[in-house]
Chain A
Amino acid sequence: MVEFKNVMKRYPNGTVALNGVNIKINKGEFVFIIGSSGSGKSTLLKLIMKEEDPTEGEIVVNGYRVSSMRRKEVPNLRRSLGVVFQDFRLLPNKTVYENVAFAMQVVEALPREIRRQVPMALALVGLSRKANAYPGQLSGGEQQRVALARAIVNSPSLLIADEPTGNLDPETSWEIMRLLGEINQRGTTVIVATHEKSIVDLMKKRVIAINKGIIVRDQQKGLYKDEDKNSPIHI
């Protein structure tokens, strides 16, 4: 599903954001990427989405060899991904329904597919009744649920969330995480970059910890802090 082989990323200004990264994430997994700001988690996600290219190494996502892919094929890769951001990135002049439908129009879906899929996605995130509202009329949590609906409406096999709860209060955050878990239950692979200790600890999923561009821990059913006190690095 997602595979990094010896990936190194150096930005033009000389900063090495990732170094010697080897990861393998299988279909259907739920993975937390944790680490402090500037640790390299965002770079990792950007490399998966091909927003950035690795300086060295090889990346394969959903069968696409991302590291050596031609620009023309990038849309195909992105269509196999769903993305959720910290700042929601909804279109303020479109209704909730239109925001979700937009994701399908852009990939030239059939109108009847759009009419079928959009209500299903909205129902999944519990926003059927707000379909005609505008993002400005919604709370932060609701907006992020719209973004979630938009991310899954094209049935991607991989969902990437970059600090999806960064702008939300704990209760709402938990609601979003619960939804991500539900989406994962339906077979979608989910990768979440986060700081939320309590949620990571509660969900007990695979945890990949990054510090200064290096993977310091990759643990099934992990917690936010490493329990193994003998581990050389604590996060």
Chain B
Amino acid sequence: MKIRTARYIFKEGFLNAYRNRLMSLASIAIVMASLLIFGTFFLLAANLNSNLETLKEQPEMQVFCYPEMDEAQIANVEDAIKKDARIKEYVMVTKAEAFNKVKNEIFDGKEYLLEDLDESIMPVSFIIKLVNPEDNAAVVEKFKDMTEVENVTYASQAVEVIANITYWVPLISGVLLLALLVVSMFIISNTIKLTVFARRREINIMKYIGATDWFIRWPFIVEGVIIGVIGSAMAFALMWLGYDAVEQKSSLAFAGIGLSIVKLLKFNQVASVIMIIFGVTGAVVGAFGSFISIRKYLKV
């Protein structure tokens, strides 16, 4: 393609989108909304996947003693664990180990926040594996009743639920993406149809003068791609802002409900994938939408 032709095509494409700006904006909004919905599901799936493995390695059960317990009281708890026939094996997590874990996993890069604190605030805990998972509830009850024990967490149920979700979410988001793409394409194609209709005389004349089909088609495709790409860029920006806010609050929130090992992905870990998916989807949807709408008018 000649440079002046490319210039003509881009100029016409932008002009078309501008002349038709109300519909263009509507289409941009639809593309943006569709991609936001899809992006939310996509991020959910990505996070579930990344956390599922950690959760699977999660101990069957973890018994936390009160931080202020002395060694004798802790020995007492350990004794009870040792004597319980339902317990296959156990590991003790010392205060120092617990503190390091928190420091490295939750406050990574922000260790200064812990400067005034030391390991004494952390509880000693026991990670327990049962012989038979069915004894779960009974064992949890037994240790919860001990005066030295502050809390007992167990994750097997959570793992099961999350594994289930992890299986369904990508499927649902795939179907959703497809449906939203069809809707977006339809809306874009309608927008372009307005432009094409407004310019049908011009198209007709161009055909008689001997313009090639692609010469006529390109400006409309550029218009569609502009709509698609602007929509996806806006979706990307919103996704970024929204997700960052959620991600920053998440570690505290998860720690609050005893799921401190659950960690959301940082946005920059998924940014490039999202950008590519959004950009390509926006452009393809836009191009295809306009391709559909101009087909009819090219038959002269």
Chain B binds chain A: yes
- Residues of chain A touching chain B, judged by Cβ–Cβ distance below 8 Å, are 49, 51, 71-72, 75-81, 83, 89, 91, 102-103, 105-108, 111, 150, 154
Report A12 CB to chain B, min CB distance, Å.
Answer: 14
Q: Tell whether A106 pairs with B4 under 8 Å between CB atoms, given A75-B212, A89-B201, A91-B201.
A: no
Q: Tell whether A106 pairs with B201 under 8 Å between CB atoms, given A75-B210, A78-B209.
A: no
Q: Are B204 and A76 in contact (CB under 8 A)?
A: no
The residue in chain B whose Cβ has the minimal distance to the Cβ of A92 is: B201
Q: Are B208 and A78 in contact (CB under 8 A)?
A: yes
Q: Are A51 and B201 in contact (CB under 8 A)?
A: no
Q: Are B2 and A108 in contact (CB under 8 A)?
A: yes
Q: Are A89 and B300 in contact (CB under 8 A)?
A: no
Chain B neighbourhood of A103, CB < 8 A: 209
> A150–B211 Cα gap in the complex (Å)?
14
Chain B neighbourhood of A111, CB < 8 A: 4
Chain A neighbourhood of B8, CB < 8 A: 105
Chain B neighbourhood of A154, CB < 8 A: 209-210
Q: Are A78 and B207 in contact (CB under 8 A)?
A: yes
Q: Are B210 and A106 in contact (CB under 8 A)?
A: yes
Partner of B205, one of A76, A80, A81, A91: A91
> A107–B207 Cα gap in the complex (Å)?
10
Q: Are B210 and A79 in contact (CB under 8 A)?
A: yes
The 7 closest A-B CB pairs, nearest first, are A78-B210, A79-B210, A106-B211, A75-B210, A75-B212, A103-B209, A106-B209
> A51–B299 Cα gap in the complex (Å)?
9
> A154–B209 Cα gap in the complex (Å)?
9
Q: Are A89 and B211 in contact (CB under 8 A)?
A: no
**Chain A contact residues, majority secondary structure:** helix
Q: Tell whether A106 pairs with B300 under 8 Å between CB atoms, given A89-B201, A91-B201.
A: no
Q: Tell whether A75 pairs with B211 under 8 Å between CB atoms, given A108-B4, A108-B5.
A: yes
> A72–B213 Cα gap in the complex (Å)?
8
**B53 close to A (CB within 8 Å):** no
Q: Which of B4, B204, B208, B300 has the most CB of A within 10 A?
A: B208
> A89–B207 Cα gap in the complex (Å)?
12
> A29–B204 Cα gap in the complex (Å)?
28
**B206 close to A (CB within 8 Å):** yes
**B215 close to A (CB within 8 Å):** yes
**Chain B contact residues, majority secondary structure:** helix
Chain B neighbourhood of A106, CB < 8 A: 206, 209-211, 215
Q: Are A107 and B211 in contact (CB under 8 A)?
A: yes
**B202 close to A (CB within 8 Å):** yes
Chain A neighbourhood of B2, CB < 8 A: 108
Report B134 CB to chain A, min CB distance, Å.
Answer: 72
Q: Are A107 and B209 in contact (CB under 8 A)?
A: yes
Chain B neighbourhood of A72, CB < 8 A: 212
- Residues of chain B touching chain A, judged by Cβ–Cβ distance below 8 Å, are 2, 4-5, 8, 201-202, 204-213, 215, 300
> A91–B201 Cα gap in the complex (Å)?
7
Q: Are B208 and A83 in contact (CB under 8 A)?
A: yes
Report A118 CB to chain B, min CB distance, Å.
Answer: 14
Chain B neighbourhood of A75, CB < 8 A: 210-213
The residue in chain A whose Cβ has the minimal distance to the Cβ of B202 is: A91
> A108–B205 Cα gap in the complex (Å)?
15
Q: Would you list 12 pairs from A and B whose C-beta atoms are within 8 A, ordered by A residue?
A: A71-B213, A72-B212, A75-B213, A76-B210, A79-B209, A81-B210, A89-B208, A107-B209, A107-B211, A108-B215, A154-B209, A154-B210
> A79–B209 Cα gap in the complex (Å)?
6
Extra 20 A-B pairs, beta carbons < 8 Å, given A72-B212, A89-B208: A71-B213, A75-B212, A75-B213, A78-B210, A79-B210, A89-B204, A91-B202, A91-B205, A102-B209, A103-B209, A105-B8, A106-B209, A106-B211, A107-B209, A107-B210, A108-B4, A108-B5, A108-B215, A150-B209, A154-B210
The residue in chain A whose Cβ has the minimal distance to the Cβ of B199 is: A91
Q: Which of B2, B209, B211 has the most CB of A within 10 A?
A: B209
Chain B neighbourhood of A107, CB < 8 A: 209-211
Chain B neighbourhood of A76, CB < 8 A: 210
Chain B neighbourhood of A49, CB < 8 A: 208
Q: Which of A71, A108, A111 has the most CB of B within 10 A?
A: A108
Chain A neighbourhood of B212, CB < 8 A: 72, 75
Chain A neighbourhood of B5, CB < 8 A: 108
The residue in chain B whose Cβ has the minimal distance to the Cβ of A110 is: B4
The residue in chain B whose Cβ has the minimal distance to the Cβ of A153 is: B209
> A154–B4 Cα gap in the complex (Å)?
18
Report A1 CB to chain B, min CB distance, Å.
Answer: 17
Report A151 CB to chain B, min CB distance, Å.
Answer: 9
> A102–B206 Cα gap in the complex (Å)?
9
Report A97 CB to chain B, min CB distance, Å.
Answer: 16
> A75–B211 Cα gap in the complex (Å)?
6
